Chains A and B, each alone.
Chain A
Amino acid sequence: MVKIYNLYIFNNAGTLLHYAEWNRTKQSGITREHEAKLMYGMLFSIKSTNKYALHFYETPTGTKFVLNTDSTAGKMTEFLKNLNSQIFVEYAVKNPMVDLSQPIKNDLFSAKLDAFIKGSSLYVS
C-alpha cells in the first residue's frame, strides 16, 4: 500500500491539463499555476527524498504524468501507463468536449481519474 499524494498531467507544450490531490497535507503557499510551472521546470532535476517519491511518465506524444507518493512506492511505470490508456486516452483524448491545449474542465474525467486512483490496490489514505 502506498500513500498517493497528488498527480499533475502536462501536455507537450507544458500546459497543466489536470491536477488532482488525495493525501496531500502540506500546501506550497503559492498559486496552483505557479506551482505547476515550478513542477514542470524542476521535472528533470528533482530527485526522490526519503519523505516522498516523484514518479514521472512521458508518452511518445509528450504528455507528462507526474505522481507524488510516499517513499514506500516501488516502480509506478506500469500504474501510470494504465492511467494513461484507461483514463486519459478514454476520457480526455476521446472526449470531444476536451481541448487538449487547455486545462481539462470535465467532471466525468475527474470522476474516472479519482475512481481509478482510489480503486487501485496501491491506494491508502
Chain B
Amino acid sequence: MADPVFFELLHAQIVKYVEERQTKDTDLSSLDTIGFTCGYKIIERLTRDWPKFKDELEIVKFICTDFWMAVYGKQIDNLRTNNQGLYVLQDNMFRCLNKIAIGKEHLQVAPLYYTFTCGLVRGSLANLGVHCVVNAEVQNMPSVKFHIQLPADCP
C-alpha cells in the first residue's frame, strides 16, 4: 500500500480542482462520480479472496471493517441500522477532515471533503449488488456520519 500521504494530498487537490471549476457552489456531483468509479473498482480487488456475502448486513459490515481499514487505515467507530434499509456509519476521526479543523471551525467546507467518500461507498455497494443513496452529515469536525439508504422495495 502506498503511503497514505499520497492519497491525502491527491484527494485535497481533486477537491480544490472541482471546487474551482464548479459553477454552482452546491454541485459536487463530479466528486461523487469519481468516488463511485474508484469504489466500484476497489471493491473488486478487495473482495477477490472472499466467499460471497450472505446478506446486505454482512456487506455493510465488510465496508465498516476491511474496506475502511484498506482505504482509511482504521475501522468505522459505530454502525447503526433501523433494520429498514437505513445504515448509519460513524467515523470519529475521518481522515479527509482530521487535518482541517476540530469542532465547528470550517464546518461549511466539510461536504467538499466527504462527498468523494459518499461516492466511494455507493460505488462499492453497487458492485456488490446493493443499490442505495449515500449521504453524510458533520456536526463536529472531524467526526462524520454516513447515511446509507436502501430503497424500500430492495430485498
Contact = CB atoms under 8 A, between A and B. Distances in A.
**A, B: real partners:** yes
A108 B106 CA distance: 10
B57 interface: no
Given A90-B99, A96-B16, A108 B5 contact: no
Contacts of A108: 99-102, 105
B5 A97 contact: no
Contact of A94 (B99, B102, B109): B99
A106 B9 contact: no
Nearest to B104: A107
Contacts, number: 32
A90 B99 CA distance: 7
A91 interface: yes
A13 interface: no
Interface string A101-116: 0000011100100000
A48 interface: no
Interface residues of A, number: 10
A106 B105 CA distance: 8
A107 B103 CA distance: 10
A95 B99 contact: yes
Most chain A CB within 10 A, of B16, B105, B113, is at B105
A62 to B, nearest CB: 19
B2 to A, nearest CB: 15
A97 B101 contact: yes
Interface in B25-77: none
A94 B101 CA distance: 12
A108 B103 CA distance: 9
Interface string B113-154: 100000000000000000000000000000000000000000
8 contacts: A90-B99, A94-B8, A95-B100, A96-B99, A97-B106, A106-B105, A108-B102, A111-B102
Interface of B: 5, 8-9, 12, 15-16, 99-103, 105-106, 109, 113
Interface of A: 90-91, 94-97, 106-108, 111
